Amino acid sequence: MHNPCRICGGTVKGSIDLGRHPRGNAFPRPGETADEFFYRLVVGMCDVCTMVQLLEDIPQEVRYHDEYPYHASGSAIHRRHFEEIAQGFLDTELTGPDPFAVEIGSNDGVMLARIARAGVRHLGVEPSRQVAEMSRAKGVRVLPEFFDEGTAERIRAEHGPADVMFGANVIAHISHLASVLRGAALLLARTGVFVFEEPYLGSVVEKTAFDILYDEHSFVFSVRAIQAAAERFGLELVDARLMEIHGGSMRYTLAPAGARPVSPRVGELLEKEAAQGLGEHATLEEFARRARTVRDDLTALVRDLHAQGKRIVGYGAPAKITTVTNYCGIGPDLIPFVCDSTPSKQGRLVAGTHIPVRAPEAFSADHPDYALLFAWNHAEEIMAKEREFAERGGRWILYVPDVHIV
Ligand code: DWN
Ligand code: ZN
């Protein structure tokens, strides 16, 4: 399978083929599974600019519908993370006479609420109605649209240039990334910055985190690919920092070309990426082989425990659960339910495999023998919350970076 690159037109060769999958965040209601949408989950790298991308693109209106169920403020660690980001902007970038901040995909307003409380001009650009309403309730101003260069032009005409543009776990979701970058170049003040953080290819490869691959992640960014993409649209990558959040994300800072000094971190990370072979097809092919091993090991373990009469339930229903359960063929026969703290996911089913999602009380009311941790990036927070489970002899099953029991 080959496609033209969405950024530079080069050739993208499909190196990772995980087969047919439903949408990661579909979470259908029972009785709504008859005509689920499936696509072929194939990921590859551009042979010119090295951007890693999905070969089949799912229309954005299908993905970010009115009932988009993911709430960015669903974890205490995430809430703190986004409040710190907002405070950082208030302290360093939003200090001029009448500063203006724009967030692309502002979700439930977890970041912008802090900026709104400080009385700073801001605008969230968020097409999913329910989460946009949640942010309005926090005093956040929202434009209910998808961001592209047309939106950028209109925002600039109405509000003037932006001192800060921000996006978290959203920029890599936008298949018209070229238009987003053109829009950023249009909307940013000469002294402004465009900061975004997204799951990092280096961490995904290092951890064999194949479950980060699903319809929403049109791209998996690397420093090298972002530097090249920024350059094409009059922007420059001036900083990049690796963070633990979401199992390994990179925070990129772009500025108008030549406007800011470039941090030495950028060069250091580029060297590290070259040593890791991140720009090579062979690295993705090796990743695909390791993903198959994880699948075989996890399926064997779950089947074996089930055959021994052990009760296993799932913990956390992140979008990632859709990839891993569909890829491994794990359904309600092996895992009767998965618990998740997000009210909009409870009472629904994991797309494709139809494992029911229940409230966390279902877990604590009747502790199983094993809990398969799908929200592995929140392991610390969840294991601390569910200490009693382990104290009573319960064991956690993890599959990142390989299958193991703790
Ligand atoms: O790009 C995206 C990223 C990176 O975030 C989005 N497309 C959506 C989202 O992906 P995800 O769904 O994999 O995100 P999380 O944060 O790993 O999801 C964690 C899930 O676990 C949530 O549904 C909430 C749940 N949870 C829980 O039930 N109890 C989380 C915590 C911390 C808990 O204590
Ligand atoms: Zn390319």
Residues across the chain: 406
Neighbours of ion ligand 2 (CB under 5 A): 5, 7-8, 10, 46, 48-49, 51
How far does residue 113's CA lie from ligand 1's centre (Å)? 20
Burial of 52 (0-12, 13-18, 19+ CB in 10 A): buried
What kind and span of H or E run contains 303? helix 281-307
How far does residue 37's CA lie from ligand 2's centre (Å)? 28
The contacts of residue 90 (CB under 8 Å, 6+ apart) are 114, 115, 118, 120
Report the nearest atom of ligand 1 relative to the CA of 75. Answer: 32
How far does residue 204's CA lie from ligand 2's centre (Å)? 20
Give which of 104, 122, 262 is closest to 195, Cα–Cα: 104
Give which of 375, 367, 370, 283 is closest to 334, Cα–Cα: 370
Locate 106 and state its tokens: 């502002």
Q: Which runs of E-coded beta strand occur in 118-260? A: 121-125, 142-143, 162-168, 188-199, 219-220, 235-243, 249-256
Q: Whose CA is nearest to atom 5 of ligand 1?
A: 169
| Closest ligand, as measured to the CA of 400 | 1
| Closest ligand, as measured to the CA of 229 | 2
- Position 303 scores a pLDDT of 98
Residues with CB under 6 A from ligand 1: 70, 74-75, 169, 199, 216, 246, 316-320, 340-342, 345, 360, 375, 377-378, 381-382, 385
Best substitution site from 201, 218, 246, 363 to test ligand 1's pocket, by max atoms within 8 Å of Cβ? 246
| Closest ligand, as measured to the CA of 222 | 2
Are 66 and 128 spatial neighbours (Cβ–Cβ below 8 Å)?
yes
How far does residue 245's CA lie from ligand 2's centre (Å)? 27
Token look-up 């002294």 returns 191
The contacts of residue 296 (CB under 8 Å, 6+ apart) are none
Token look-up 């063929």 returns 329
Give which of 32, 405, 15 is closest to 201, Cα–Cα: 15
Report the nearest atom of ligand 1 relative to the CA of 341. Answer: 28
SS3 (DSSP) at 139: coil
Report the nearest atom of ligand 1 relative to the CA of 69. Answer: 23
Token look-up 């995980």 returns 18
DSSP calls for 65-108: -TT----TTSSHHHHHHHHHHHHHHHHHTS-SSS-EEEEES-TT
List per-residue pLDDT tens for the chain, 406 residues long: 789 999 999 999 999 999 999 999 999 999 999 989 999 999 999 999 999 999 998 888 777 777 777 788 888 888 999 999 999 999 999 999 999 999 999 999 999 999 999 999 999 999 999 999 999 999 999 999 999 999 999 999 999 999 999 999 999 999 999 999 999 999 999 999 999 999 999 999 999 999 999 999 999 999 999 999 999 999 999 999 999 888 899 999 999 999 999 999 999 999 999 999 999 999 999 999 999 999 999 999 999 999 999 999 999 999 999 999 999 999 999 999 999 999 999 999 999 999 999 999 999 988 899 999 999 999 999 999 999 999 999 999 999 999 999 9
Exposed e or buried b for every residue in 153-184, given b needs 16+ CB within 10 A?
Answer: eebbeebeebbbbbbbbbbbbbbbbbbbbbbb
Q: Whose CA is nearest to atom 11 of ligand 1?
A: 318
| Closest ligand, as measured to the CA of 178 | 2
What global pTM score does this model have?
A: 0.95
| Closest ligand, as measured to the CA of 68 | 1
What kind and span of H or E run contains 295? helix 281-307
Q: Whose CA is nearest to atom 6 of ligand 1?
A: 169
Best substitution site from 80, 325, 341, 357 to test ligand 1's pocket, by max atoms within 8 Å of Cβ? 341
Are 365 and 333 spatial neighbours (Cβ–Cβ below 8 Å)?
no
Token look-up 């990772």 returns 16
Measured between its terminal Cα atoms, the distance across the chain in Å is 39
How far does residue 24's CA lie from ligand 1's centre (Å)? 11
- Amino acid residing at 38: F
- Position 67 scores a pLDDT of 76
Cis, peptide link before residue 99, omega less than 30° from 0: no
- Helix pair angle (223-232, 264-276), 10° resolution: 120
Token look-up 């779950």 returns 302
Report the nearest atom of ligand 1 relative to the CA of 319. Answer: 12
